[in-house]
Amino acid sequence: MTAVTGVSALSVRNLVKSFGGRPVVKGVSFDLAPGEVLGLVGESGSGKSTVARCVARLTKPDSGEIRLGGRDVLGASRRELRTLRRDMQMVFQDPYSSLNPRMTAGALIEEGLLVHGIEPDRRKRRDRATALLETVGLSAADADRHPRSFSGGQRQRIAIARALAVEPKVLICDEVVSSLDVSVQAQVLNLFRDLRERLDLSILFIAHDLAVVHYLCDRVAVLDQGSLVEIGPCGEIYRRPAHPYTRSLLDAVPVPDPAAERARQAV
């Protein structure tokens, strides 16, 4: 478990976002500690993706403050934003549409290195792309294949390798395993567990599946109609949810820990 101390890897304060005058995110605040995996859960439409998109500056919030390692994200100049974008990478739900089908897996990974000026030397760039493919459990031979020749889980691995290429400090994962079969989900979740250990990554992990969050995350934040109603260590919240909305979310799923399930039933 990672304690929230010192400068947060990511700090979000009073984030507000409306669409067409309808508030969708209503003053959300949370911190992500260095090396921590924080789950963000809530029903469909509760505003999870909007929070993620605001944090990554893909959507402009109405108000609030976002800091990445203490640096102001919303007030960043174009130049500062380049560095911030490198330090904060996003992986999306659909590995089919997020990868350019015309590029090979190797070229997709090399692109990030090139765009951010990380590895100008062509051969070294290629070696680095190959090493990243191996990091996510693919092989050097996969570098020359196009996305359509990979399975969904393998494509998601390529998307993860692509995000990792620029050595981000924070990874924002929006429903990254939702479109995968259960057995492939387990493989990708184990990959995340392994990567966070090895790379000391901070991860904001958005999911609607509470069992997935329980498996991977240190803490969980619960979003209900745009408001954060509860945040705390996974074990504690799953055992003793304080908010009725969290309780109703948990009642809808089996908890993989029989002791936690008994404690929950007793509340």
Stretch that binds ligand ATP, among 2-10, 44-52, 112-120, 128-136 (CB under 6 A): 44-52
Q: Which is nearer to ligand ATP, 165 or 172 (CB)?
A: 172
* 3-state class (DSSP) for residue 9: coil
Within residues 138-157, the interface with ligand ATP by CB under 6 A covers none
Taking the complex as a whole, how short is the minimal distance between the CB of residue 189 and ligand ATP, in angstroms? Answer: 18
Amino acid at 146: H
Quote the least distance from Cβ 90 to ligand ATP, whole Å.
13
Interaction between residue 45 and ligand ATP (CB under 6 A): yes
CA separation (Å) from 103 to 65, 114, 200? Answer: 37, 14, 29
User: Would you say 19 or 256 has its CB closer to ligand ATP?
Assistant: 19
Residues 59-118 that bind ligand ATP (CB under 6 A): none
Nearer to ligand ATP, 2 or 59 (CB): 59
Site residue total, ligand ATP (CB under 6 A): 11
44 touches ligand ATP by CB under 6 A: yes
Round to whole Å and give the CA distance between 251 and 265: 9
Q: In this structure, what token pair is assigned to residue 172?
A: 């924002």
Touching ligand ATP, residues 14-43 (CB under 6 A): 19, 24, 42
Biggest alpha carbon distance in the chain? 61
Q: Does 48 bind ligand ATP (CB under 6 A)?
A: yes
Q: Least separation, in Å, of the C-beta of 28 and ligand ATP?
A: 11
Asked if residue 50 binds ligand ATP (CB under 6 A), the reply is: yes
> Closest distance between ligand ATP and the C-beta of residue 53, in Å?
7
Q: Which amino acid is at 205?
A: F
Q: Phi and psi of 225, rounded to 5°? A: 45, 45
DSSP string, 184-224: HHHHHHHHHHHHHHHH--EEEEE-S-HHHHHHH-SEEEEEE
Please tell me the distance from the alpha carbon of residue 94 to that of residue 111, in angstroms, as a whole number: 19
Which positions from 170 to 209 touch ligand ATP by CB under 6 A, shown as an x/- string? --------------------------------------x-
Write out the H or E segment, with its range, that includes residue 52: helix 48-55
Among residues 99 and 206, whose Cβ is nearest to ligand ATP? Answer: 206
CB of 45 to ligand ATP, least distance (A): 4
**Core vs surface per residue 30-64: b (16+ CB within 10 A) or e:** bbbbbbbbbbbbbeeebbbbbbbbbbbbebebeeb
The single residue among 9, 31, 34, 49 that binds ligand ATP, judged by CB under 6 A, is: 49
Closest CA to 213 of 249, 245, 165: 249
Residue among 34, 39, 47, 61 that touches ligand ATP (CB under 6 A):
47
Sheet holding 88-91, edge to edge: 88-91, 170-174, 202-206, 37-41, 219-224, 227-233
Residues that bind ligand ATP (CB under 6 A): 19, 24, 42, 44-50, 208
